[in-house]
Structure 1
């Protein structure tokens, strides 16, 4: 080999130590861009005294993020992670007052604002639920019932558009997610069946990346079972009350007895405080038992902004409540 050939091979990354030497590892263009993911949680501080020092010095002194700010950015990054297809999360507990609807709306606000859209919250109650009441209203009164009646509008995949769903879903404004309410007409009888769930779910999967399902209280209902079967993740919601916590555990027992596969790793728990003070012993017991039964448990503090039973004012929630839901949604994204 000539000296010129040798220099050429070195420039091309050929090993210099003979045929058996390890080739040099060069950073690829993708590696170059991926470095930003790490920088997002290690960049200059904007919070607290660190951020104040940076601003006052005009950036000449630029402390790194503190632990709390770095964790916040990491949680946001996890919520924003790419998914390789639509994902469905069902919020479940067969007892009323278990914070299912509150949880769906809080998760909708979190996923919607942090991911930037592509999220729908669906009230899959077999008759009438309250998700439509607690979400922002729209200029129409259409619900799942009307969508079922008009499904033929979406038969042609090539010509149907997400904008056409605007006649049935309700935009939640700055929260960047939509709500599909359950039937609200008092003159209509009948329930939502498994086939109905499948038809609507299949349509929503065409247009949304994250589908949050608010379930009813009858886990023997066809649409409840269909939602549990279709969900990529189950979120057990409970308050720090013995009856609500028992109900969720009873449900997990029933699902395990029914042979639901990989139940522990397909389920996580959100445990909310129903009042400013709760029984700490009961809270510890519930965390312990649900940690045994589900992949993780996430505590949400009491927030007076949620007690009215009206629209969930996400921007008025306390910083602690918003952070708790950010952590819970990050865990949901991890599970997906």
Structure 2
């Protein structure tokens, strides 16, 4: 086999999000035209492997795509391994490592309380799986001492038998599934089992967290007494993610004292009923003879995101304000039919329905856009609850603050303006971190600005960030 230096010929692969790209081997260019990112990665590996076979030796390839840079060693026999980006040793001897862009792919979450279980941040060594020797059977005696052997009538020592209660054949260690994302996932699908990256392991842990079931119903209140703070999009996103992953019956309730906007940003069912209609029919809905399907007469099902919406009153005259007693009735009905209630709210912390909502709340969420007056309103909301003491103060201390980048159109913003917007979001997040349980940042996404909100319409980075936010909320259950 040739011992030519690893850097010759120079091999680069540039992959785009739409599945196109090119592989440059020396002076030749090989275009890639596929349908998606994963297929383009596989095509790039195949092109380089073909060149390695023709040359009869391994090739070092610098692979780059929207998720980062991945130095690989493509062997002449078609096998693939990751290479150390800092060395140019002889092919096949590189240490397995990886280089990524500075921009993180996980949401910037600040954990500030010991109530959140610690998570390992170490990344498994990205080596290919090699044949291993057979391990001993998983028979684990729990006793550390054994009785001395006894003498048989013939004088032969006989081992004292242990109880079957002290023996188990079950293997308790979980099986780590191979990588499914990025170049690691592509290589796993090509037959080279790769362990998941730290980012993928963090995402799996968030999915596990939001997929849990908990005993009894839970109520989440989304509050900020300033309008335009992203309350309604937050309610929709949390409801969608928790409903999708946990499968728990979930309802988003617009608890505005008069008329809210949750119904405008979500699908409407085949009726126009609101919370007032549900309250009027509460005796029937709470009757033991009423079946669960009857609740569909009063809520509006979200067909793709799998949760229901209880709309606020949309009376054109606007002559009714929800009372504390009506909140109690509606909450009693909903806890019979749903395991999770996510409540939108108005802007008046002094309103009777707002204060009664807090009484029923198990987890507080405070959304804020990266604008100083929204952040100040969020701070005052938390301060108000803290000053009331008891249950209200407890909610404030264990709140989850969700900081979204400005919803202003970014098409007209310069690179410097975008940088300032991100810096402002980080400043606000850092300011809240010492006072609450968790802070999560959400990137700008045009799909959240206008019209009906759908989880599937969000960009992948936004979906990932909202998954992190939902996991932070679920840890409070």
Q: In which range does the TM-score fall when normalised by the shorter chain?
A: 0.7 to 0.9
Counterpart residue number, 1:283: 425
In the alignment, the residues of structure 1 paired with residue 436 and residue 224 of structure 2 have an alpha-carbon distance, to the nearest angstrom, of 14
Aligned to 1:218, the other structure's residue is in SS state: coil
In terms of mean alpha carbon deviation, does 74-83 or 280-289 score higher?
Answer: 280-289
Any gaps of 5 or more consecutive residues in structure 2?
Answer: 1-149, 153-157, 411-417
C-alpha deviation, 1:248, in angstroms: 0.6
Residues 260-308 of structure 1: CA distance to partner in whole angstroms, max 9, x if unpaired? 3324443110000114435344323311221122111100111011112
Q: Structure 1 residue aligned with 2:186, among 52, 64, 86?
A: 52
More helix by share: 1
Aligned length: 312
Q: 1:257 to 1:265 in 2, by over 3 A?
A: closer
Aligned to 1:191, the other structure's residue is in SS state: coil
Structure possessing the higher radius of gyration over alpha carbons = 2
In the alignment, the residues of structure 2 paired with residue 219 and residue 7 of structure 1 have an alpha-carbon distance, to the nearest angstrom, of 75
Counterpart residue number, 2:58: none
Q: Structure 1 residue aligned with 2:230, among 64, 87, 99?
A: 99
Do structure 1's residue 307 and structure 2's residue 459 form an aligned pair?
no
Aligned to 2:343, the other structure's residue is in SS state: strand
Q: 1:248 to 1:153 in 2, by over 3 A?
A: same
Q: 1:261 to 1:332 in 2, by over 3 A?
A: same
Q: How does 1:27-176 map to 2 (within 5 A)?
A: 27=168, 35=173, 38-39=174-175, 42-57=176-191, 61-156=192-287, 158-176=288-306
Aligned to 1:279, the other structure's residue is in SS state: helix
C-alpha deviation, 1:8, in angstroms: 7.9
C-alpha deviation, 1:161, in angstroms: 2.3
| Counterpart contact for 2:232–2:261, Cα < 8 Å | yes
| Counterpart contact for 1:232–1:266, Cα < 8 Å | no
Counterpart residue number, 2:440: 298
Counterpart residue number, 2:26: none
Counterpart residue number, 1:206: 336
Query: Cα RMSD (Å) of the superposition?
Result: 2.2
In the alignment, the residues of structure 1 paired with residue 352 and residue 249 of structure 2 have an alpha-carbon distance, to the nearest angstrom, of 27
In the alignment, the residues of structure 2 paired with residue 266 and residue 229 of structure 1 have an alpha-carbon distance, to the nearest angstrom, of 15
| Counterpart contact for 2:257–2:322, Cα < 8 Å | yes
Q: Structure 2 residue aligned with 1:273, among 395, 398, 405?
A: 405
Aligned to 1:69, the other structure's residue is in SS state: helix
Aligned to 1:175, the other structure's residue is in SS state: coil
| Counterpart contact for 2:265–2:453, Cα < 8 Å | yes
More strand by share: 2
In the alignment, the residues of structure 2 paired with residue 187 and residue 67 of structure 1 have an alpha-carbon distance, to the nearest angstrom, of 55
| Counterpart contact for 1:303–1:321, Cα < 8 Å | yes
